[in-house]
Amino acid sequence: MESTNQLQKDAPIGVFDSGVGGLTVFREIMQQIPNEKMIYFGDTARVPYGSKSKETITRFSRQIVRFLRTHHVKTIVVACNTASAYALEALQAEFDIPIIGVVEPGAKVAAGTTKNGNIGVIATEGTIGSRIYNTYINRLNPDATIYGKACPLFVPLVEEGWLNDSVTHEVASRYLAQLTDKDIDTLILGCTHYPLLRSTIQKVVGGRVTLVNPAYETAVTLQHLLSDMDLLNPKAPSPGEQQYQFFVSDKAERFLEFANSIIEHGIPTAQTIQIEEY
C-alpha cells in the first residue's frame, strides 16, 4: 500500500471519470454536501472506457488516483461505472485512503426497491460483461434476478445532444425491449451519461418501472462515509478560496462546453495534464 499522511477534514474529495459523465455524480455531491472541496479529473484523451478491457481501465485508473493524491485528497469517488466495475477492487487494495465507486450504492437501492425481484441494468459493454451489479445485488437480495443490457449508442446520442428525440426513442425501444419483456419493476441507469436520457427511458419502459440513478445514491454513501470517519468539512470554504478544480487529459474547450450544461453556475476553467506521466 502507498502510505499517506493523516487525512484532513478540509482536504478535497477526488472525483474521476473517463470524461464528462462523472459530472452528474460531482453535481450530486455539490448539492448534498456543499461544504466540501472537490478535484475533478476527466480522462478526455482516452475516453470512452466502456468498450475497453479490465487491464487497460485498471492501468488508467491507477494513474488517475496517483494524480489525485498529489492534491492530497481525503477520499476518492470513482464516478464511472466501468472503472468501478473493473478497477475499484485493485485501487482499494493498492491505496490507503477510502475509495468508493458508483456501483455498490446503486445496487443497494435497487435491491431494496424491487417488489417482484426483476431488476434491469443498462450500462456499457464493460460494466454489463463484468456482472458486477449482479454480484452486489445478489449479496443483499439473493432471490433477485438481474437482466443486463449494454447500450453502446446511448453515450454518443447524449453527446450529440439528442436527448428527447425520435432516433433516441427508437434506439432505446430496441435496447430496452429485452428488459421490459422480463417484467422488470426496477431499472438501474448504470452509466453516468444515462440519467440525461431519463425522460426518454421512462417513456419507453413505462411509469410502473422505478429508475435508479447511482449518482444520487453515491453522494448519499459518500456523506455517510465521511461522517463515520469524522472527515466531513465542518465549514464552507472562505470567500475567495477555490472550492472546485477541474483537470482533463485532452484540451479543455470541449469539456467545458459540456460541463457547463451540467453544472449550475458553470465551470470557469479546466487544466490539461499529461495523465500517463503519473
Interacting residues toward its own copies by CB under 8 A: 44-46, 51-53, 55-56, 152-153, 156-157, 159-160, 166-167, 170-171, 174, 249-251, 254, 276
Integer Cα distance of 46 and 26 in angstroms:
20
CB of 216 to its own copies, least distance (A): 27
| CA-CA-CA-CA dihedral for 124, 126, 128, 132, to nearest 10 | -120
Q: Is the dihedral of CA 207, 127, 67, 2 positive or negative?
A: positive
Among 65, 73, 191, 231, the one annotated catalytic: 191
CB of 276 to its own copies, least distance (A): 5
Among 64, 80, 88, 109, the one annotated catalytic: 80
Compare residues 56 and 180 and give the one whose CB is closer to its own copies. Answer: 56
Angle between helix axes 54-69 and 81-94 (nearest 10 degrees) is 60
Maximum distance among all alpha carbons in the chain? Answer: 54
CB of 215 to its own copies, least distance (A): 23
Q: Which of 76, 63, 74, 80 is nearest to 17 (CA)?
A: 80
* Contact criterion met (CB below 8 Å) for 278 and 64: yes
Q: Which of 49, 210, 26, 246 is nearest to 114 (CA)?
A: 210
CB of 75 to its own copies, least distance (A): 28
Residue 266, Cβ neighbours under 10 Å: how many? 10
Compare residues 31 and 274 and give the one whose CB is closer to its own copies. Answer: 274
Q: Which residue has the cell 441507469?
A: 189
Compare residues 77 and 158 and give the one whose CB is closer to its own copies. Answer: 158
* Contact criterion met (CB below 8 Å) for 118 and 210: no
151 is catalytic: no
Compare residues 152 and 237 and give the one whose CB is closer to its own copies. Answer: 152
CB of 24 to its own copies, least distance (A): 19
Compare residues 143 and 253 and give the one whose CB is closer to its own copies. Answer: 253
Q: Which residues are catalytic?
A: 80, 191
